[in-house]
Amino acid sequence: MGNSSKRVRPSACALVGSGVAFVLATSWLLLTAPGQLPSHFEGSGEITEWMSIGQYVTVTSAFTLGTALICGGARWYIPKIPDRALNLTGSQSNYWARPENRNEFDTKIIVDVEWIGVLITLTILGVTCLACITAAGVHIPFWIRPTTTVLPMLALLGYIGYVSYSGRYSPPSSTTRHPRL
């Protein structure tokens, strides 16, 4: 089967795509925004704090780069984690720690980390687009502001819930059935 962590996965493509979208949005911001950007809004939508464009780009770029390194780098560091460092219980530990199953386990973890990176990057991207649009003086309806941050965060929490409670990491059930006598 080979090392499946080296194949191109949709999650890796989405992570790269969200990173490219962030770079494009940041470029748009640098080309069009004035020197100050809104950095905090009250519940009514009134801007209460401002930040220089340099500070904003530095902070958002640092978070996005950190996300890319941690989540995008998972394909290189996850396979290097020793079996004894895996914190799995019961039959999961017995199944996934076996050498013949470790590659599949690594791939599942890598995909999950990449999708989490996509959702974090999309949140930063949404905030960056809002900052650019608001700084240009365009009125944005109030409900759009929390939507750009709340929806990706809800998706992130939902994905973490799916990974945690769906049995995604349960060992596959045996396909051989014994006939009843």
- Cα separation, 114 vs 68, in Å, equals 9
**Which residue would you say has higher pLDDT here, 77 or 166?**
77
Domain that holds residue 19: 4-165
Q: Is residue 175 part of a domain?
A: no
Return the CA Rg of the chain. Answer: 21
Longest dimension (CA), the chain: 80
Q: Which amino acid type is present at position 140?
A: I
pLDDT per residue as tens digits for the range 2-40: 454 467 789 999 999 999 999 999 998 898 888 888 877
pLDDT tens sequence across 142-162: 788 778 888 888 999 999 999
Q: Is residue 128 part of a domain?
A: yes
pTM score, two decimals? 0.82
Is residue 153 in a domain? yes
Please report which confidence band the pLDDT of residue 174 belongs to, taking 50, 70 and 90 as the band edges. Answer: low
Number of structural domains found in the chain: 1
